[in-house]
Chains A and B, each alone.
Chain A
Amino acid sequence: MSTAAPAPDRNPAPPNPILEVIRNPLARTYALVSAGGLLAACAVVYLFLYSVFGAVALLVIGLAGLVLRWASAPVLFVFAVTYLLFFPAGVPYTGTLPGVNQIPDAHFRFADLLFVAAALVHLIGLYRYFSAVHMGMPFEAPKVFVKPGAKPTVRPAAAVSDPELWMLFARAGVFVLAGQLVWLAVNRLRLDFLRGFPVTLYESAIEIERLSQARRAYYETPVWLGRFLLAVAFFGGLAALLGFVFWYWRLARMNRDEARAALVDGSWATHRRDLNRPEAWRGGRKKKLAGTLPKKGCGSYFLVIGVPGLLVLLYIMIVGCAGGFR
């Protein structure tokens, strides 16, 4: 009886994606978290919007993302939510549109809180699941240089620590509340550039209603514009502030090489025009003496002689057509 070890299979069968997820504790955990958030979101849609189609559609998109590792699924989920909230029946029928002015009482609604929390947990879980099974880091090289079949870097298959998991839920809760607060602020603050301090509170829901109409005075800022400007100011200001802090932090932590490079580059940017001319002249002369200057083609002659000549000709034609040579 032969005791030789079997030869290794040169073309092993690709691993079963489902089994791979089940065996990977990290992917398993986040798949369950994401699926839980998805089910909760679907339940809210079904119970509060009475939309069976909406619930099923969201479930299909979410599960497609989980099972097929479809990287576009999270963004598509948000778009689908928007569409289904607008048209709960799934068809663009204006009779199903919700009431026009829901703004005044659109804060801290129980259904919103539940739905946003569930959707946020689903999305966080889904993205972390992708980092565990699909791609955690992008390829360093441009796509054309990536070898076919190269595996992207994913998080190692280790058990998720309890703090990481609980922090996920805690963060979701905090951001749900923070989102409500920002939404409330953006809708309750009024922009009035005629006042000394342009930001005030709307006096009442009637005022909001009035400023939403086209019949408002021309100098009054419409509600949507005020809301938009406040949102841009809030998010843009926050991003700019954080960006400035991190930029300064990186400046403060530069190593010696980076600092030297920054100084040399700054000085070069300042004096570039002065430095360019002698060096360009020197380099050009060296090339000319070495005979390595590129040979001038017909395009060069056309550009230098043809185009200006055509311009002059055009000018003469204009003069001629205008009767200047009569």
Chain B
Amino acid sequence: MLTARGYWFLLGVGFLAFWAVVLLASYVPTVGVLTFTLLLWFLFEWAWFAVRANAATGQVSVERHIFQGDREQPNLWANVEGTVRLTLRLKPRGLRLPFVAVADKLPAGQHISGGERRKVGELRPGEPFEVEYRIHPVAPGVIRFEGVELRIADLCGFFYRRVFLRIPTDYLVLPTLADDEGGQRATKRLNALPPPGVHRLKRAGGGSELLDLREYRPGDPPKMIAWKASARRETLITKELENDVPVRCMLFLDASNGMRIGDPGDTPLARAAGIGAAVAQAASANRDIVGLTVFDEKATQVTKPARTRVHTMQMLRTFAETAGRQPDLTSGDAATLQRYAHSLATEQYPDLMAKGVNSRPFGLYWIPLLDSRAKWILLLPILFAVLSFTPYGFNTLTEIARNIVNPANPPQFARFFAEIFTAIFNAFFGLNDLRIGLFIYLLFIMSILVFGPTYLTMLFWFIFGIRGFFGQRAKNLGERKQLGAVFAALDDDTPAAIERYIHDDDFFVARANRFLADHHTLPPADLYDKQGMYRFLGWTKVQILADALVRTVGVARDNELYVILADLVELADELEPLLRAVRAARGRHHQVLVLMPWPDDMPPPPDRKAADRLRRKKVAIGRLIEDALVGEYHRKFEAVRTTLVKAGVTVHRFNSDDPVRLILQRLEQVRGARVRR
């Protein structure tokens, strides 16, 4: 690619070379010699640059290593600074690239906390070219390194090429690793409570606390005989001990589309996964049993409760994978998506967007007349041709000819032009006769009358079609075609798909959403449609959550704690299945806790002052709209909370208090509870 510097050099020297050859050579041959020398040098620079760039671009190998805590890690930990080390290497015995700029594509949502992800220098065969920088992932999920941008230029800055080495690599960001105690004490706080990991169940078992006394049955172990009681009653009495069972906590994590919307690493799902992971680690450190059910609008994924270290790690992995899920969008504004997708494709797929493999022919822009409502104009020439051969048309033409060739009484209009033609003819040939002018005018008029409709139709056809080359339509069409070709190439699709991407908005929107989601660069989604309905309602998830809860209750052994991390605000009217499941759980003395995400920019329900502060900053119309939106959201939240609280569920927001502490306190309560079955 020629840079502006190269373009101006070539233009200037080429211009001088032209004049040197055509005119100046005879006077000052030095100019010719100089410009020829410069042109030869420029050609050589181009050839040498092209040789180097072509030879080198396919020969670059890239290695990426990520270090945390001085060790290379296959996965990352949230809230721990990591070092990304990128090593580029040209194959030995190749040509060196004297001037390259290497830039690692930073994963979406990540920021550099040290170092530089760009480096300029020289790439020598066999020698490593290292780029090192630090990132600080703050939320669990998946971060995706797309690849490396390699920019190559010659030493004079005439030529330039940009290559994107696509090496997509996904790294799991595991939730923050708590210490061994999970931030909680692993010792008893109160003597009234059993040791961690143990929950006293008032059911006969192998515990240490006395539950009851009963008459001896044959087969009871002698050591269980209560001798003093036996002596008093004069019959053998056996001791029954309480059952010591671990506390079980089941987490239900909502991974529906509504939870996945947001900036990478700052989605409600990522926050919920962070909370769940902290709870899982703390409970595991307390030797409690923790399980996980991830659900969305379609299915559930269950991790059975356990308390081993391996199980905890497996759960952290599940949390990270879930937090990294991208929204599965099928709708959106085609123009917005096209803008985002085209920028992304230009940046990361320059090889597939190049003219050589992704053409935009002129015919693409031409607006065909036949496909429009104005196609009937093509009938005009035919109509006039037919009319010319009707008696009326023939008589009209004859009348015109008769009038024109009658020099005694020509029409005034005809006479005017005939005199002009006569004057011209007189000037060139010296013949001053009005009949000659009239005859030329007759030929002119007859040609217009006979071919006029055709000329006019052709003019109309041209103007109609040429409009397609200008304006926003041309830009959109070109971009859509390029994206369609990229999608078709990536999907191994047929050429017909390109045309479909151009004309079918729904088809394009679905694929563009997938393309952007794959690269973690979805545009901000519209949460509400034009009718004001929440677009990510996901009402089916309520039934799926209820089914999962009922299944869990079905296999539960003791009073357990169920923590539901879900966005239910917009589903106030759809909660009936969940309420039934909750009642079933409560009927078996299980505890249910619901934690719901809360938008960052939404004032909390009771905090009217914050709402007022926000309101004061807005203009009048904005205040009205914001009041309406905030009020509506609060109303929905209150409706959900009231409904669930009536069923015996505790409802909180993610940001209301420390949600992890809240859940752990509830676990302590469950541990201390004595329930007879």
Residues of A near any B CB (own CB < 8 A): 71-72, 74-75, 78-79, 81-82, 85-86, 97-103, 106, 111-112, 115-116, 119-120, 123-124, 127-128, 130-131, 135-138, 140, 153-156, 158, 164, 171, 175-176, 178-180, 182-183, 186-187, 212, 224, 227-228, 231, 235, 238-239, 242, 246-247, 249-250, 253-255, 257-258, 260-262, 264-265, 267-269, 271-273, 275-277, 279-280, 282-284, 286-287, 292, 303-304, 307-308, 311-312, 314-315, 318-319, 321-326
Contacts and interface: CB of A to CB of B under 8 A. Distances in A.
Contacts of A318: 445, 448-449, 452
The 10 closest A-B pairs by CB, nearest first: A179-B37, A283-B503, A106-B29, A323-B403, A268-B495, A127-B156, A261-B489, A75-B12, A279-B499, A321-B413
Contact of A282 (B397, B494, B504): B504
Contact of A280 (B26, B155, B503): B503
A131 B19 CA distance: 30
User: Which of A158, A264, A307 has the most chain B CB atoms inside 10 A of its CB?
Assistant: A264
B41 A171 contact: yes
B493 A264 contact: yes
Interface stretch (B258-266, B354-362, B590-598, B640-648): B354-362
Contact of B120 (A97, A123, A153, A312): A153
B485 A279 contact: no
A283 B505 CA distance: 7
Contacts of A116: 30, 33-34, 37
B32 interface: yes
Given A115-B34, A154-B120, A284-B503, 15 more contacts: A81-B31, A86-B31, A103-B25, A112-B29, A175-B44, A224-B21, A228-B22, A242-B43, A265-B495, A268-B498, A272-B361, A273-B363, A283-B502, A283-B504, A312-B380
Contacts of B502: 279, 283
A304 B99 contact: no
Interface of B: 3-5, 8-9, 12-13, 16-41, 43-44, 46-47, 50, 54, 58, 98-99, 101, 120-121, 151, 153, 155-158, 160, 162, 349, 351-352, 356-359, 361, 363-364, 371-374, 376-377, 380, 384, 396-397, 399-400, 403-404, 411, 413-414, 445, 448-449, 452-453, 456-457, 460, 464, 485-486, 488-490, 492-496, 498-500, 502-506
B631 to A, nearest CB: 32
B54 A260 contact: no
Nearest to B364: A272
A75 B13 contact: yes
A79 B14 CA distance: 11
Interface of A is mostly: helix
A326 B399 contact: yes
Contacts of A140: 151, 162
Contacts of B364: 272
Contact of A82 (B16, B37, B349): B16
B322 to A, nearest CB: 31
Contact of A269 (B13, B22, B361): B361
A27 to B, nearest CB: 13
B38 A120 contact: yes
B157 A137 contact: yes
A137 B372 CA distance: 47
Contact of B151 (A99, A137, A182, A314): A137
B495 A267 contact: yes
Given A127-B156, A130-B157, A323-B400, A261 B26 contact: no
Contacts of B18: 228
B28 A85 contact: yes
B16 A280 contact: no
B452 A286 contact: no
A321 to B, nearest CB: 4
A116 B404 CA distance: 72
User: Which of B30, B38, B151, B357 has the most chain A CB atoms inside 10 A of its CB?
Assistant: B30
A272 B499 contact: yes
A136 B452 contact: no
A308 B374 contact: yes
A326 B403 CA distance: 9
A103 B4 contact: no
A319 B372 CA distance: 29
A257 B413 contact: no
Given A86-B24, A127-B158, A186-B21, A322 B411 contact: yes
User: Which of B13, B21, B364 has the most chain A CB atoms inside 10 A of its CB?
Assistant: B21
B33 A124 contact: no
Interface of B is mostly: helix
User: Which of B3, B357, B358, B373 has the most chain A CB atoms inside 10 A of its CB?
Assistant: B357
Given A127-B158, A261-B489, A323-B404, A315 B36 contact: no
A82 B15 CA distance: 11
Given A224-B23, A279-B496, A272 B151 contact: no
Contact of A123 (B38, B373, B380): B38
A128 B156 contact: yes
Nearest to B156: A127
28 contacts: A75-B13, A85-B31, A102-B27, A115-B30, A120-B38, A131-B153, A131-B155, A136-B153, A137-B101, A153-B120, A171-B44, A180-B33, A183-B32, A183-B33, A212-B26, A224-B23, A227-B21, A235-B43, A260-B489, A261-B357, A261-B489, A264-B485, A272-B364, A276-B503, A307-B374, A322-B445, A323-B399, A323-B400
A131 B122 CA distance: 14
Nearest to B37: A179
Contact of B58 (A158, A183, A253): A253
A111 to B, nearest CB: 8
Given A303-B374, A304-B372, A255 B503 contact: no
B408 to A, nearest CB: 13
A182 B32 CA distance: 10
Given A268-B498, A272-B499, A176 B121 contact: no
Contact of B27 (A86, A187, A314, A324): A86
B490 A257 contact: yes
A190 to B, nearest CB: 15
B515 to A, nearest CB: 14
Contacts of A82: 16, 19-20, 24, 28, 31
A71 to B, nearest CB: 7
Contacts of A131: 99, 153, 155-157
Contact of B8 (A75, A98, A124): A75
B357 A258 contact: yes
A227 B39 CA distance: 16
A112 B28 CA distance: 11
Given A261-B358, A322-B414, A304 B499 contact: no
Given A82-B31, A242-B46, A319 B351 contact: no
Contact of A231 (B12, B17, B101, B153): B17
User: Which of B23, B32, B351, B449 has the most chain A CB atoms inside 10 A of its CB?
Assistant: B32
A212 B43 CA distance: 30
Given A120-B37, A138-B4, A183-B33, A153 B500 contact: no
A228 B28 CA distance: 16
Contacts of B20: 82
B456 A271 contact: no
A287 to B, nearest CB: 7
B456 A314 contact: yes
Contact of B37 (A74, A178, A239): A178
Contact of B33 (A106, A253, A257): A106
A290 to B, nearest CB: 8
Contact of A85 (B3, B30, B46, B358): B30
A131 B153 CA distance: 10
A324 B396 contact: yes
Given A82-B31, A284-B503, A179 B40 contact: yes
Nearest to A262: B357
Contact of A102 (B26, B101, B157, B357): B26
B485 A261 contact: yes
A255 B41 CA distance: 32
A135 B18 CA distance: 29
